[in-house]
Structure 1
């Protein structure tokens, strides 16, 4: 096995003078450099809070688990590629991230979230679950990550708060390009996402572009969502508190007309722009929604749909959106919920009539 060499590049700490004398130096943070053929995981394991693991261009066959707070895992762009390890090597290097079929895992514990981890400027592709997966995180940033052709999700998180998912490219993943949930494996009331922000991502060719499931207090803003079976799904159910108190704003959502077969949870999908189902107090505003066309029960530009477990959407505001060439209509409301408001939207057709 090739010996792993990790270069330590110490950052110089600046000393600040005051009238009372010189302040003590701040603790130096290190940059741990990983070359092709070396182990990213070994560098991550050696990193301490505040350190950066810098992965040079090349292809790395492994899964990487990060549990140390305030560690940054950074590539040099799209050319830093993380792919699954082979079966023989997996038996020797297995961790919970490998076993779960994920590429990069940022994982806290049941009692404590891991804080301030950043993953940026790299590609994760070919994993049987998620490219990047966060669980029990606080303030996780995923930025400029190419999450391509993973079997379930491109970038996903659960039980997490204050995340920043920014400027990523999630393409051709089996389920959602970006997936956020309270919990994945059990039913529970909607959780407070702590002002999580999903912003300026490009999401295309997935089953669903962005899925928000059983969450509150977050924003999906200024994303470009195209070529999926459905653009943005905000999903609630019969649990309490109800999903909602969030914003979907200033996104460009166009031609999400890929056709996907039905699953245990959803009917066949095609031509859905933004779908709200089982939510409350959600504000959908300033979005440009065009050319989403299909014959699914969920097809249309912006759709309010009674959840499949019978929960209505209530007190949602759909305002100041620009909609065009969506079918069966730009605005579709098949929900029986109360106090949903449609205001100042630019559109031509709605079901029922009169919403434009």
Structure 2
């Protein structure tokens, strides 16, 4: 081989090596693994937008705060996030806007959460940190000016938190799939101020309030917000106070879910605000024997034996659901109920059709209040209030 040929081969090798050198760091950065004993929050903090973090099987005792685009995935029931065992005091104070609100009780928090940074390298807002420090498992937090986009959480278990399993605020296209949210003190999986969320194939069980909760806001009154097509699909909800609650929102679908053993199945809640809640579809859900008893509170009476309740809703289609054996003595009990709103908002222009509604008591179908334009069409049922809707 001539010297000229050797030089040519050497140049080619250098070019290939340089190419590999460019590709390798990018490929490595795209995927991070967390093992038992590691911190999920550390991995989130160091991840670049778009990275995938894989949490290996094991139990992780921490809170996780996400403020940038990424994928967080585990191995289903084998990857479990639980509350920190003891409160941890960070070694150094967080940057100025990131401190907890004055007077707020110190909750157990993973050490990294206090110094987490967002996608732009900024310290998260005090509101974001308050979420991660408030006994919630995973917080996904954007702002009104900059919602966090395309966060994907899948195949994890969040269990035993004093407040929520997963809480999201100011997000767009949040995806939560194949998550188990169990035994949390408020909601299993919850979202507010957000658009285009996808909640699919999750299991929410034995949470104190709703298994799955979608709202406009939780800290102030206001008209319903447009979710731009949020989807609640093929989830299993059991043992909760309410399986699915959609409150003061519009433009979403709830379909193909299984709800059983809750106090109530699906609640669509509106009020006198404008625009009104509704413009949604609830279809092809299996809602059986939600006969657990839950004591009433300042917002609602006792809940037991509830299939689907609409209160203060408009232009909502409830169709092709299978609703059976929901039995109770609560004012809300029964198969499908259009309930008079406690704040005077009426149910208007809703369509209840093609449902199988059997063995629910006191009635399969009920229409209360003074709302207008509501239609009950082609439902297979045995009893209704007033009579004649079956």
Same fold (TM over 0.5): yes
- The Cα shift of 1:310 comes to 1.1
Q: Determine the structure 2 residue equivalent to 1:350.
A: 384
Secondary structure of the 2:188 match is strand
Secondary structure of the 1:88 match is coil
- The Cα shift of 1:110 comes to 2.3
Q: C-alpha separation between the residues in 1 aligned to 2:202 and 2:261?
A: 16
Q: For the Cα contact (< 8 Å) 2:132–2:139, is it kept in 1?
A: no
Q: C-alpha separation between the residues in 2 aligned to 1:316 and 1:232?
A: 15
Q: Determine the structure 2 residue equivalent to 1:288.
A: 322
Q: Determine the structure 2 residue equivalent to 1:73.
A: 72
Q: C-alpha separation between the residues in 2 aligned to 1:59 and 1:162?
A: 31
- The Cα shift of 1:306 comes to 1.2
Mapping 1:35-54, distance limit 5 Å: 35-54=35-54
Is the deviation greater in 106-115 or in 96-105? Answer: 96-105
Map Cα deviations across residues 44-84 of structure 1 (whole Å, 9 max, x no partner).
Answer: 11111221010001100001011112x00001121100000
Q: C-alpha separation between the residues in 2 aligned to 1:103 and 1:263?
A: 25
Secondary structure of the 2:291 match is coil
- The Cα shift of 1:128 comes to 1.1
Q: Determine the structure 2 residue equivalent to 1:59.
A: 59
Which protein has the bigger strand share? 1
Q: Does 1:321 align with 2:355?
A: yes
Q: CA 1:351 to 1:92, structure 2 compared with 1: closer, same or farther past 3 Å?
A: closer
CA RMSD of superposed structures (Å):
1.5
Q: For the Cα contact (< 8 Å) 1:125–1:147, is it kept in 2?
A: yes
Secondary structure of the 1:130 match is coil
Q: Does 1:335 align with 2:334?
A: no
Q: C-alpha separation between the residues in 2 aligned to 1:88 and 1:198?
A: 35
What are the ranges of 5 or more consecutive residues in structure 1 without an aligned counterpart? Answer: 1-23
Q: Determine the structure 2 residue equivalent to 1:174.
A: 208
Q: Determine the structure 1 residue equivalent to 2:121.
A: none
Q: For the Cα contact (< 8 Å) 1:62–1:98, is it kept in 2?
A: no
Mapping 1:1-356, distance limit 5 Å: 28=27, 30-69=30-69, 71-89=70-88, 90=108, 93=111, 95=114, 96=129, 97-356=131-390
Q: C-alpha separation between the residues in 2 aligned to 1:292 and 1:247?
A: 21
Q: C-alpha separation between the residues in 2 aligned to 1:258 and 1:161?
A: 32
Is the deviation greater in 83-92 or in 109-118? Answer: 83-92
Q: C-alpha separation between the residues in 2 aligned to 1:333 and 1:98?
A: 42
Map Cα deviations across residues 128-154 of structure 1 (whole Å, 9 max, x no partner).
Answer: 111011110000000000000000000
Q: C-alpha separation between the residues in 1 aligned to 2:279 and 2:137?
A: 31
Q: C-alpha separation between the residues in 2 aligned to 1:343 and 1:113?
A: 41
Secondary structure of the 2:323 match is strand
Q: C-alpha separation between the residues in 1 aligned to 2:262 and 2:154?
A: 24
- The Cα shift of 1:100 comes to 2.0
Matched residues, number: 332
